Every structure is written in structure tokens, then in C-alpha cells.
Chains A and B, each alone.
Chain A
Amino acid sequence: MKMALRVALLILGVVAAVWLWTVVFPSPEKIVLRRIAGLAATATISPGEGAIMRAGKTSSFIGYFSTDAEISYDLGSYGTRTISGRDEIRELAAGAFTTVGSLNVQFVDATARVAADKQSAEATCTARVTTGDNKDFDVQELKFQLKRIDGDWLITRAETVKTLQ
């Protein structure tokens, strides 16, 4: 019984050590996923947030993108629209953040793949978006391309994915 307890404690210790290691030294995939989750948190606006806070959120939102970033999104029967550069993204974000009463954005089912050179990555996720007091939500599949620029993972391209073609 004592032996079994020792073995169990040893296994528990190893598991705890591995977990601690991954917390202190996260893999690039985890860092990319955290980055994507941070983008969703930044895009979330609560009803009580005023104009100054929303402007601050816009600036934070821009910080997730590289200077030459592109966002391509599907507009259904109107085709696809692409915007490029931080200025256009800022305009889009500011417009969205000021017009909606509240916005809840969650990125779920996210996965990331980091290239062998550890300098670029691709992430996919499903955005779950609720606007205002609406109980209903909308879902949209997204794909991100990221690059490591000055030690920071920045989005170089974000696009909507058509789940049903």
C-alpha cells in the first residue's frame, strides 16, 4: 500500500511539474491562441462602456494587427470585401464599436499551427457573436494568419471561411 501511494504521488508530481512547465514556458501555439482570445476580449463591448473606453478599445484592437494587415469578409450575396492596413481596420472597428450598444465576442473551437521556423502561424476558430440584449447569437468560421514581428504575434490576415459552400 505504501509503495502504491509513493507511485501515485510520483505520478502526481510529474504531472504537476509538466503542467507548471507549460504554464511558465508556453508553446508558441498556446501564445497564438491566447493572442486570438485577447482579440475577442478586446472586441467585446459591454453596454456601460462610454465613448472614451470604446476609443481605447479601438486602439487596443488595432494593436493586434500588423501595419499591412488585411481583413477579408464575406457579405453573402454582396460578395467579399477586403480592407487593408491599420487605418482602414481602425475605421471599421471604430464604426462598429460606436454603433453597437453591446457586443459579446467569443472565439471557440480554436486551433493554431505554427510553422517550422516559428515565425508564422495559422489559427482557425469559430466566432460566436451576440449583439445588444439579443439572446440569439451568430456564428462565423474564421481563419487568421499571424507573423512574429519584434517578438510579438501580429495578425497579417483575417478572413471569414464559408462553412457551407
Chain B
Amino acid sequence: MQDPNHSAGKPGWVQIVLIGRRPAFTLVRIFVLVLVCVVTVKFILLPIRVDGISMEPTYHNGRIDCVNRLAYWRHGPQRGDVVAIRLSDPGPFSAPSQMYMKRVIGLPGETVWFHEGHVYINGRLLDEPYLKTTCDWEHEPLVCGPDQYYVVGDNRSMPFEYHRQGRADRDRIIGKVLL
């Protein structure tokens, strides 16, 4: 005959599957896991979905990616980096929901000039191996401020006036696109 006291002390298999042998520790583990996920997704690796064609063919419309918000912790963005740029500031405890995805071509203090579809930095032609299309963009030289980066998309087949590009303040660049 089975001892009822003995069986009452041991958790049943349903309880083990659902909440573990020690429910209190399971709760703590769930709490820590949720906390780690929230902190990671909001402040370290921000998930994004590409919407639009301005970064074609490097990033296709609808692609899922991540923004590394710690990429520029120690140094500023580098030329050639693909970055996420926030629009309005949602505050310190929120991640922006809308961002521009662009490539950095001009660094602080540099002059960026579009001439006959080519980019010139301080008068020197910029090599852009990531470009797959040609264009005839023409725009007067623009000087980046001490805290500004010139950003532009990879899809230069679009007309210049339909393509959002220009100087972004450093505090608007929230991170580097991971892949």
C-alpha cells in the first residue's frame, strides 16, 4: 500500500513540467529571463524590419535585422558603416520605433559633393564597392559639422529628390546595423 504522506511530498509530473520542482526558483528564473530579454531587445540589440527600397540591393524591403546599440560606445561611426538614425527622441527608457537605415559616407568636418553620380569627399573621389547601380546625382558640396555624419542609401537609381539623405547629428545615430 502506498504511503499518502510520502506521495504528497513529491511534486507530480504535471507540476514538474509546468512550473518545475521548485516553483519559487522557476519564478525567479522566468523573471530574470524576461528582464534579460527586455534589456537586450530595447537597449543592446534592437530588432528592425527594413521598409522601403533606399538601401537596395544591400538590404531588401521586408528584411529583418538588428541594430547594435553598443557599437559606438567607444568610437564614432566609421565610413562605410550602415547605421540606424532615429527621428523623434522617444526618451531614455524607450527604443525608437521608426528609424532611417543609411550608410555613412562623410565624417565630421568633411565636405561631401555629388558630381555626375559620384561622391567626392574633400575633393577626392570616394570608392564605393557596395554600389550596384549608377546614377547622375548632382548636388552642391555640403560641409559636415563637428558632430555630423553624411548618410545616404545604397540605391542611387532613385531620383536625388526622392532619396532621403543628408547630414545626421551624432546623437541621432543609435547604432550600427548588425548584418
A: residues with CB less than 8 A from B are 76-77, 108-111, 124-126, 128, 136-137, 139-142, 161-165
What is the interface of chain A mostly: helix, strand, loop, or mixed?
strand
Residues of B with C-beta under 8 A to A128:
98
Residues of B with C-beta under 8 A to A111:
88-91
Assess whether B88 is in contact with A136, with CB atoms less than 8 Å apart. no
Assess whether A137 is in contact with B165, with CB atoms less than 8 Å apart. no
Residues of B with C-beta under 8 A to A141:
87-88
Q: Which residue of A lies closest to B150 (CB)?
A: A164
Q: CB within 8 A of A163: which of B51, B161, B168?
A: B168
Interface core residue of B51, B87, B94, B165 (most chain A CB under 10 Å): B87
Assess whether A164 is in contact with B151, with CB atoms less than 8 Å apart. yes
The number of residues on chain B lying at the interface, defined by a beta carbon within 8 Å of a beta carbon of chain A, is 24
Q: Which residue of B lies closest to A139 (CB)?
A: B98
Q: CB within 8 A of A109: which of B85, B98, B172?
A: B98
Give the complex CA separation of A163 and B86 in angstroms.
Answer: 8
Assess whether A125 is in contact with B166, with CB atoms less than 8 Å apart. no
- What is the count of residue pairs linking A and B with beta-carbon distances less than 8 angstroms? 60
Assess whether A163 is in contact with B91, with CB atoms less than 8 Å apart. no
19 residue pairs bridging A and B, Cβ less than 8 Å apart = A76-B161, A77-B161, A109-B86, A109-B87, A110-B88, A110-B90, A111-B89, A111-B90, A111-B91, A124-B88, A126-B98, A139-B98, A141-B87, A142-B88, A163-B87, A163-B168, A164-B85, A164-B100, A164-B168
B: residues with CB less than 8 A from A are 51-52, 85-91, 94, 96-98, 100, 102, 148, 151, 161, 164-168, 172
Assess whether B89 is in contact with A124, with CB atoms less than 8 Å apart. yes
- Taking the nearest CB of chain A, how far is it from the CB of B175, in angstroms? 16
Assess whether A139 is in contact with B87, with CB atoms less than 8 Å apart. yes
- Taking the nearest CB of chain A, how far is it from the CB of B96, in angstroms? 5
- Kindly list 19 other residue pairs between chains A and B, CB separation below 8 angstroms, not including A164-B102, A164-B166: A108-B90, A108-B98, A109-B89, A109-B94, A109-B96, A111-B89, A111-B90, A111-B91, A141-B87, A142-B88, A163-B85, A163-B87, A163-B100, A163-B164, A164-B85, A164-B151, A164-B168, A165-B148, A165-B166
Give the complex CA separation of A141 and B88 in angstroms.
Answer: 6
Q: Which residue of A lies closest to B61 (CB)?
A: A136
